[in-house]
Amino acid sequence: MVPLSWYILLSAVMFSIGVFGFLSRRNLILIFLSLELMLNSVNISLVAFSHYLQSMRGQILVFFIITVAAAEAAIGLAILIAFYRNNPTIKVDEINLMKG
Amino acid sequence: MDMANYLFEMTMIMPEITLICVGLILLLLDLAVKKKEVIAVVGIAGTLVALYATYKLYIFNQPQNVFAGMFVLDGYSNFFKLIFYINIILTICISLKYMTIEKSSFGEYYALILFATTGMMFMASAADLIILYLGLELMALSTYILAGLIRKQPRSNEAALKYFFLGAFSSAFLLYGISLTYGMTGTTNIKEIAVALQSLNIVDNPIVFLGMIFMIVAFGFKIALAPFHMWAPDVYEGAPTSITAFMSVGPKAAGFAVMGRVLFESFGAMQLQWNSILIPIAVITIAVGSIIALAQTNIKRMLAYSSIAHAGYMLLGIIAGTADGLTSTVNYLMIYMFMNVGAFAVVISLRREGFQGENLEDYMGLAKKHPVTSALMLVFMFSLTGIPPTAGFIGKFYVIMEAVNSGHMYLAIIAVMFSVVSAFFYLRIVMYMYMKDPKEEVTLTSSSSLNFALAVTTAMVIILGVFPSFLLNLVRSSIAG
């Protein structure tokens, strides 16, 4: 049987890769993928904890996260398309209409 | 579950159900009715019905924990709901004419405001981290769309994009924090976490601490605390001005509601640990907000930095870690809503067809042509600075007093010092209005709903400044009950 710590380590590594990708990538779609990676790493750790603790709460939260992530993806891509119609770029460095 | 119990639990979330239903009705009504005023009026009426439902529940009920400990109805959540209702009404009043000028007067706009507020209400009433997350996402997803509602304007698109990416990033942090806390304590219930921390004796556990830090980071994003404030100036500048007013109050109040509840109820035993994070954050937030605002030439950006600084002041009440401290924070939030929405209402009144009216130069000599609007702006600017007899002074006074009472004298000194710095950029607008000659003629857009919002906010800023005890007692009894 795989011990809990392996799952938690996997989830921590995935989350870190996601954070790194979010901060270092320059392409909006890849940033979006990094976000999904972060959410899925949380799902892994929640399911692992849920199994280890023998409580259903974690798995219930996972279902909510998957649902909300789908809604989030729909809204995020819609915003991206609305953006792309006015300024056809998906490079982060060119999104600098406002300084910040 | 038996039927009577089920019905009882449903009545507890009647205000939320009302707002969601009214939101759906607005979406349908948008197909049938051409005049947006009708939709706005229905939206306000629905909010008033929800307000009445909350009032009824507040009068007749003891604190209730319903839906298997997921949802709590107590004075604390009810007071936050009051803030959210007033915020909806003021926002709808200031946006009616404005959204027509921006050519983005969609019916969805009003529905989304109601949906976002429902999310905030669930956050304020969350007794479980799962419902907290769902409420936060309902609020966040609706406000992402609202920020980008002016589809034809690149600035608005960019604001929505930045808000979306950083908001989603912060919710991932929240989830990671929840998962760590859940793993260590074996529960997601906010009250049971506190019990588990004691019974498992893991108050000093570094992983629990890490989970708490992740959650504070996520709440910090929503509240726009430095160093998680990077999105705020851009989003506040690019979003429609009415939505900027809505966003600078609603999500901030909801963020403080959950922050107060999670830190006080779950991690109450770890006050030393969370203060070691929050104290530096508060100092940086106040400093960054006050200093960078000095360099701004766009008034929406300046108000964004000002809202960051105000979030820092509000944090002092949480740092105090007592019920009185929380009272001062909530009191500040209520006052901040009136003065901030009021200031944005004045900014909106300068916007007209073909004229943005967002630069500081546009305010030059405003007092000569428009003495009343200038006088109102003067009141709001004085209040934001914290000059008596306006409400802003009362808000600041109580949070700083709580910082002193809890033994954080240096925090109080820092807060007062930066309050003086902030006087520069607030009073600069007053100086522009009264002591400079106008560069070009500025005609104001006015409408009866905008005037109503201005009248209410000004009246409240002055009344709460002169008679502060009424609001303070209300907050105190709500939090105690």
Three-state SS string across A11-71, please?
Answer: HHHHHHHHHHHHHHCCEHHHHHHHHHHHHHHHHHHHHHHHHHHCCCHHHHHHHHHHHHHHH
Which residues does chain A have within 8 Å of residue B187's beta carbon, measured at their own beta carbons?
Answer: 55, 57
The burial class, CB within 10 Å (0-12 / 13-18 / 19+), for B6 is exposed
- Measured CA to CA in angstroms, residue B333 lies from A88, B120, B242, B405 at distances of 40, 14, 18, 20
* Runs of H (alpha helix) within B186-205: 190-199
Q: For residue B219, what are its two tokens?
A: 């709440």
Burial B265-278 (b: 16+ CB within 10 A, else e): bbbeebbebbbebb
Cβ–Cβ of B130/A60 closer than 8 Å? Answer: yes
Q: Does A75 touch chain B (CB under 8 A)?
A: yes
pLDDT score at B446? 84
Which residues does chain A have within 8 Å of residue B233's beta carbon, measured at their own beta carbons?
Answer: 98, 100
Mean pLDDT of chain B: 92
Three-state SS string across B398-424, please?
Answer: HHHHHHHHCCCHHHHHHHHHHHHHHHH
d(CA B108, CA A11): 39
CA dihedral B62, B65, B66, B71 (to 10 degrees): 120
Cβ–Cβ of B157/A86 closer than 8 Å? Answer: yes
d(CA B178, CA B133): 9
Which residues does chain B have within 8 Å of residue A97's beta carbon, measured at their own beta carbons?
Answer: 154-155, 158, 238
Question: What confidence tens digit (pLDDT) does each residue in B380-393 have?
Answer: 999 999 998 899 99
Which residues does chain A have within 8 Å of residue B144's beta carbon, measured at their own beta carbons?
Answer: 75-76, 79
ipTM: 0.96
**Between chain A and chain B, how many beta carbons pairs sit less than 8 Å apart?**
123
Cβ–Cβ of A42/B175 closer than 8 Å? Answer: yes
d(CA A71, CA B136): 13
Q: What is the mean predicted confidence (pLDDT) over B341-352?
A: 92
Q: What is the distance of C-alpha B292 from the center of its chain?
A: 21
Q: Give residue limits of the domains in chain B.
A: 274-481
| Nearest chain A Cα distance for residue B186, angstroms | 6
Please count the CA atoms within 13 angstroms of the CA of B194 that sit on its side-chain side: 15
Question: What confidence tens digit (pLDDT) does each residue in B410-465 have?
Answer: 999 999 999 999 999 999 999 999 998 888 778 888 889 999 999 999 999 999 99
The burial class, CB within 10 Å (0-12 / 13-18 / 19+), for A93 is exposed
Q: Which of B77, B80, B43 is nearest to B61 (CA)?
A: B77
Which residues does chain A have within 8 Å of residue B168's beta carbon, measured at their own beta carbons?
Answer: 35, 72, 76
Whose tokens are 């108050």? That residue is B203
DSSP H or E run through B116 = helix B107-125
pLDDT score at B9? 87
Cβ–Cβ of B141/A65 closer than 8 Å? Answer: no
Cβ–Cβ of A75/B145 closer than 8 Å? Answer: yes
CA dihedral B321, B327, B331, B337 (to 10 degrees): 60
B-interface mutation test, from A61, A84, A87, most B Cβ less than 10 A away: A61
Question: What confidence tens digit (pLDDT) does each residue in B8-36 have?
Answer: 888 889 999 999 999 999 999 999 988 88
Whose tokens are 């997803």? That residue is B141
pLDDT score at B166? 94
d(CA B232, CA B234): 6
Band of pLDDT at residue B1, cut at 50, 70 and 90: low
Q: Which of B391, B386, B381, B385 is nearest to B468 (CA)?
A: B391
Minimum Cα–Cα distance from A11: chain B residue = B176
Query: Is the pLDDT reported for residue B331 higher than 70?
Result: yes
Using DSSP's 3-state secondary structure scheme, residue B228 falls into coil
CA dihedral A9, A14, A16, A22 (to 10 degrees): -170
Which residues does chain A have within 8 Å of residue B234's beta carbon, measured at their own beta carbons?
Answer: 98-100
Query: Is the pLDDT reported for residue B211 higher than 90?
Result: yes
pLDDT score at B361? 87
Using DSSP's 3-state secondary structure scheme, residue B64 falls into strand
CA angle B471/B476/B478 to nearest 5° reads: 95
How many CB atoms are closer than 10 A to CB B390? Answer: 26
Q: Please, are residues B191 and B255 in contact by the beta-carbon 8 Å criterion?
A: no
Cβ–Cβ of A15/B176 closer than 8 Å? Answer: yes
Please count the CA atoms within 13 angstroms of the CA of B480 that sit on its side-chain side: 7
Cβ–Cβ of A58/B179 closer than 8 Å? Answer: yes
Band of pLDDT at residue B58, cut at 50, 70 and 90: confident
Please count the CA atoms within 13 angstroms of the CA of B406 that sit on its side-chain side: 24
Query: Is the pLDDT reported for residue B481 higher than 70?
Result: no
Q: Please, are residues B304 and B343 in contact by the beta-carbon 8 Å criterion?
A: no
The burial class, CB within 10 Å (0-12 / 13-18 / 19+), for B41 is middle
Q: What is the mean predicted confidence (pLDDT) over B208-213?
A: 94
Give every CB contact of residue B301 below 8 A, 6+ residues apart in sequence. Answer: B233, B236, B237
pLDDT score at B436? 87
Which residue did the predictor score with more confidence, B131 or B107? B131
Which residues does chain B have within 8 Å of residue A85's beta carbon, measured at their own beta carbons?
Answer: 151
| Nearest chain A Cα distance for residue B26, angstroms | 20
Q: Does B294 touch chain A (CB under 8 A)?
A: no
Question: What confidence tens digit (pLDDT) does each residue in A50-92 have?
Answer: 999 999 999 999 999 999 999 999 999 999 999 999 888 888 8
